Structure 1
Amino acid sequence: MRTTLRDVARLAGVSPKTVSNVVNGYLHVRAETRVRVEEAIVALNYRPNLSARNLRLGRTGVIALAVPELDVPYFAELARHLVAAADALGWTVLVDQTDGVRERERQVIGGIRDQLIDGLVLSPLALTAADLAERTDATPMVLLGERIHRGPADHVLIDNVAAARDATAHLLGLGRTRVAAIGAQRSAAGVTARMRLRGYRSALTAAGIGYDERLVAPTPQFHRAEGAAAMAELLDAGARPDAVFCFNDLLALGALRTLAERGLGVPDDIAVIGFDDIEDGRFSVPTLSTISPDKRQIAGCAVDLLHRQLRTGAAGRADADGGPQEVYADYRLIARESTGASTPPVRSVQAAQAAQAVQTVQTVQAAQAVRSVQPGRALPSGSSSPSDPSTSAVSPVPPAVPGTPSI
């Protein structure tokens, strides 16, 4: 026989209405009562009728995730984590691809699917603050990434300037003095690239090394082919770096290909570090050192912010009484073979992920990320971000990212 809401209420010693309040995530239930109800739900293996609940609340139980490119591993891995976080709330995720085109992103925020979804998580590349200001759709929304700082919507990102500074400092710490950068972009959409270039320059300044534009290779996109071509251009121009910071892992994988074709050793001749910690980097030869954003935490925070917006009815803001939240997720530096760290053989993806979990420097449990928006790191609208342009160009490196070797 199917367990009913009344069965849960009887075991927990509360009214059916209280059980309903817990299931629907209402905030006014006392903590001890909530625990009792949740324990009864687990004990009886109760499964709420989500269709009935959504119909009653006027919701679909579906949220959307819109990203620029699904064939970029970072976004695919992020989508996997977001689907898992949404599933914990009984939500289904509709995944959309914008190709980073402004008009497509405008359509997404304009309510093109407002009859289908309860909320939107968007990683924009071309959208502007003016586009958001003109938005009339009331669907709850959370932004991801570096585009549109301190806008009208809740926002989850990492400190790209600090992370890029750490990556460059890692190379400098190996005794390398001619550190190149691959991935600079001059387009208006290249906010991420500009932040990572700023971090790169900051690390050089801190080390007393002058900025040499000949060591900076722009790329139109962050793909393998562009990384391979940029590495070839640096070598053909006679720049001959002894280390390279690539602004994402795909660029780094392309650079590794060119270096192998030219007969140059990594890291003996040229050390290489990337950014994003995609799975391919754990299996490349050599394995790729990288900056690893906490994708699980980013996804969990985004889903939690949407959940809060749905509970408070404040579209775009989890805090109905305050401004939009800007949440900085954790990252860590992983040193692998491409910068001289020894990497044990990887027997399976699960083994690699388990080893990473053990050596995580900045640990944040997935459940914690879903329940709360990283206490102490959520910045109200108008606050300075960790790498606000108004602050000093050389700011302290976060102490919890030492670049511990791992796989």
Structure 2
Amino acid sequence: MASTLKDVARLAGVSVKTVSNVVNGYPHVSADVRRRVDAAVAQLGYRPNAFARTLRTGRTGVLALVLPGADVPYPDDLAREVVREAGSRGYRVVIEQAPPDDEPAAPALGDARAMPVDGVLVSAPVAPSELVEALTAAGRPVVLVGGEARHGRCDQVTIDVARAAEDATAHLLGAGRRRIAAIGAYPRESPRADGYHRALCRAGLAPVPGHRLPASRHRRADGYRAARALLAQPERPDAIFCYSDALAIGAMRAAFDAGLRVPGDVAVIGIGDIEEGRYSRPTLSTVSIDTAFLAREAVARVANRIDQPDAAFARVTAPHTVLPRESTEPR
């Protein structure tokens, strides 16, 4: 026979209401009581009746996590950390994939409005304003995760990409590089470009004309094409800062195809710390984002928004750190 809330309450020595609060992820429960209830739940193998809870509360106990398409690498452990953190609060997570850039947004917006979920976590690189507006208009609490885009009607857990770019460029300067190029989407207008320029100015340098190239998307192929163009210039860069690890992986392949050595002839660094960069040859230097922090804060923000729809919107910045690897070793 399946265990009930009363069984869990009796074993844990608490009230049925307290067990319900723990199971449903309410925050105002002491750590000691939560541990006792969790232990009783595990011992009895108790499983909440999701259908009954939905009828009673109007909530599904499900969050959606919207990530970029499969061709856009993203920090590998973000989804895992979100699922783990959400589970600790009594939520399940469904993963949704954002439509490719060349597909119309309308079908995706319709699907977003119809999502049978309590809240949505959206990767900022795939968060156009119309998607955020559609979700909030449909009554879905939304939290943007990562990136630097600002939206006034939702919570955000962001990355200080300008500082990350500045730190990446400073790392290349510290490795003795002076002709540092940059590859990324709209390099003259983004916060990453601002950070890149600040680091160069602090070192008394200016970008070499033609050493800043855009990329239509942050894919390996875009990094490859841009790096091929950079490395064919008469004044070839001795280092390349890429706005993402995927661009950097493509740039390293371009250097190899041009008969150059990484890092001997050209150093390369990215942002994101994707798993591929840890096993590439050479291994890729990168700016690593604290994905556990991103997940923890994002889930906390969306849970708070579900419980308090009228609370003030919050903006939290995740820490980052430069991880030097073989692709930027000093000459």
Q: Do these two structures clear the TM 0.5 threshold for a shared fold by scoring above it? A: yes
What is the SS of the residue equivalent to 1:157?
strand
Q: 1:234 to 1:30 in 2, by over 3 A?
A: closer
Report what 2:329 is aligned to: 340
Unaligned runs of 5+ in 2: none
Report what 1:132 is aligned to: 133
**CA-to-partner distance for each residue in 1:263-283, whole Å, 9 max, x for gaps?**
211111111111111111111
Q: 1:105 to 1:201 in 2, by over 3 A?
A: farther
Q: 1:169 to 1:338 in 2, by over 3 A?
A: same
Q: How far apart are residue 198 of structure 1 and its match?
A: 0.9
What one-letter code is carried by the residue in structure 2 that aligns with 1:250?
A
What one-letter code is carried by the residue in structure 1 that aligns with 2:23?
V
Q: 1:50 to 1:126 in 2, by over 3 A?
A: closer
Unaligned runs of 5+ in 1: 315-319, 342-407
**CA-to-partner distance for each residue in 1:309-347, whole Å, 9 max, x for gaps?**
2222x0xxxxx44x2111111222111110118xxxxxx
* Contact 1:61–1:117, Cα closer than 8 Å, also in 2: yes
* Cα distance in 2 for residues equivalent to 1:134 and 1:26: 24
Alignment of 1:34-53 (within 5 A): 34-53=34-53
* Contact 2:63–2:91, Cα closer than 8 Å, also in 1: no
Report what 2:181 is aligned to: 180
* Contact 2:109–2:134, Cα closer than 8 Å, also in 1: no
Alignment of 1:6-405 (within 5 A): 6-29=6-29, 32-74=32-74, 77-88=77-88, 89-100=90-101, 104=105, 108=109, 111-114=112-115, 116-124=116-124, 125=126, 127-128=128-129, 132=133, 135-146=136-147, 148-149=149-150, 151-185=152-186, 194-312=190-308, 314=309, 320-321=310-311, 323-340=312-329
What one-letter code is carried by the residue in structure 1 that aligns with 2:186?
Q
What is the SS of the residue equivalent to 1:233?
helix
**CA-to-partner distance for each residue in 1:232-251, whole Å, 9 max, x for gaps?**
11122213111111111111
* Cα distance in 1 for residues equivalent to 2:52 and 2:231: 63
Q: 1:68 to 1:37 in 2, by over 3 A?
A: closer
* Cα distance in 2 for residues equivalent to 1:15 and 1:44: 16
* Contact 1:133–1:152, Cα closer than 8 Å, also in 2: no
**CA-to-partner distance for each residue in 1:61-95, whole Å, 9 max, x for gaps?**
33222233233220665334333333443413141
* Cα distance in 2 for residues equivalent to 1:202 and 1:108: 38
What is the SS of the residue equivalent to 1:25?
coil
* Contact 1:215–1:239, Cα closer than 8 Å, also in 2: no
* Contact 2:179–2:237, Cα closer than 8 Å, also in 1: yes
Q: How far apart are residue 22 of structure 1 and its match?
A: 2.3
What one-letter code is carried by the residue in structure 2 that aligns with 1:261?
D
What one-letter code is carried by the residue in structure 1 that aligns with 2:302?
L
What is the SS of the residue equivalent to 1:300?
helix
* Cα distance in 2 for residues equivalent to 1:129 and 1:305: 21
* Cα distance in 2 for residues equivalent to 1:250 and 1:97: 18
What one-letter code is carried by the residue in structure 2 that aligns with 1:222?
H
* Cα distance in 2 for residues equivalent to 1:9 and 1:339: 57
Identical aligned residues as a percent: 44
* Cα distance in 2 for residues equivalent to 1:105 and 1:135: 16
Q: 1:148 to 1:106 in 2, by over 3 A?
A: farther
Greater Cα offset, 300-309 or 44-53 = 44-53
TM-score, scaled to structure 1 = 0.72
TM-score, scaled to structure 2 = 0.87
How many residues were matched structurally?
A: 328
What is the SS of the residue equivalent to 1:142?
strand
Q: How far apart are residue 150 of structure 1 and its match?
A: 5.1
What one-letter code is carried by the residue in structure 2 that aligns with 1:185?
Y
* Cα distance in 1 for residues equivalent to 2:191 and 2:47: 46
* Cα distance in 1 for residues equivalent to 2:248 and 2:95: 31
